[in-house]
Amino acid sequence: MLRTYLDFADHAARTGRKMKLTYFVLDVFTRDRLSGNPLAVVLKADELSSTRMQAIAREFNLSETVFVNAAKGERHTAALRIFTPTSELPFAGHPTIGAAVLLGLQHKQSAVRLELGVGNVTAIMERIDKRTGEAKFALPQLPAATGKAVEIASVAKRLGLQDSDIGCDGMIPAQYSAGLPFYLVPVRDTRALEAIALERRGWADTFKGERNSVYVFTKTPNERANDYAARMFQVSHGAGEDAATGSAAAALIGMLAEHGGYGDGHHAIAIRQGREIGRPSLIDLQFNIEGGQLRHSGIGGAAVVVAQGVLDFDD
């Protein structure tokens, strides 16, 4: 079925009558359909302008849409361009995982080499069934602190919490990036995480910058399936909460490596996200610390195909 759609798009491109582009919708960071974070993947998008890509992403109106283009590198599988409904991103986790799973399934590849705005990655993909796979990749950019600290009282007010709710295991709010910057906000426990009630007024004054995305997290010592729970808010995007945010989880590695109490060695942790909005997700992180310094970081998760179709445009 997948190959039939690809052949159909190729034929349409050769005839010149219509531009027909195959797309798929996947749920990412989950094996279960209708959970996780939905993603649109548009194949063979080389003929699309940036303006048209942005318009298509706005039409899908998902947190991200990824456009698959021909790779520049001879040994690479594809080049990806990632768009939110309002802008292009150099990196995002769930589009990279979703595209890697889809391309791995289609091409029967266990190593999917992708060109991103922040550099090249090789995703290792494991097929689960004909529509489902798991992918993981090393981050092309190590996460690191960026920007200034944020005042706890102001953060608490924006999240509708008490000052005493902010902080976890000695960690305090800070800015980190692994290619995309986030404000990372540790909170006391899962009750504080669930109790968040956004105060949008003054959001940009507290969380300054072009991207004022906020990733709130806490430890989950009483939950077997994961080590942390998180929620991600960006009030400029629709409802303001994301179901699973790989780029934020990637940034969190930087904070955990510096302030999370992890010593030298290899560490593997899992983060749940999306439960509060009915889209449960699970993000896997791996990182190595040597001599007290972060030396390697990676992210992984599952994805499942839930829909496919054709975009039909006049040339």
The span from the CA of 78 to the CA of 72, in Å, is: 8
- Other CB atoms closer than 10 Å to residue 27's CB: what's the count? 27
Task: Determine whether 151 is an active site residue.
Answer: no
DSSP state string for the chain: -HHHHHHHHHHHHHH-S-EEEEEEEEEES-SSTTSSEEEEEE-S-TT--HHHHHHHHHHHTSS-EEEEE--SSTT--EEEEEE-SS-EES--HHHHHHHHHHHHHHHT-SEEEEEETTEEEEEEEEEEETTEEEEEEE-SS--EE-S----HHHHHHHHT--GGGB-BTTB--EEEESSSEEEEEEBSSHHHHHT-----TTHHHHS-SS---EEEEEE-TT-SS-SEEEEEE-TTSTTSEES--HHHHHHHHHHHHHHS---SEEEEEEEEE-GGGT--EEEEEEEEEETTEEEEEEEEEEEEEEEEEEEEE--
Select which of 47, 59, 64, 276 is catalytic: 64
Placement of tokens 């077997």 in the chain:
224
By annotation, the residues acting in catalysis are 64
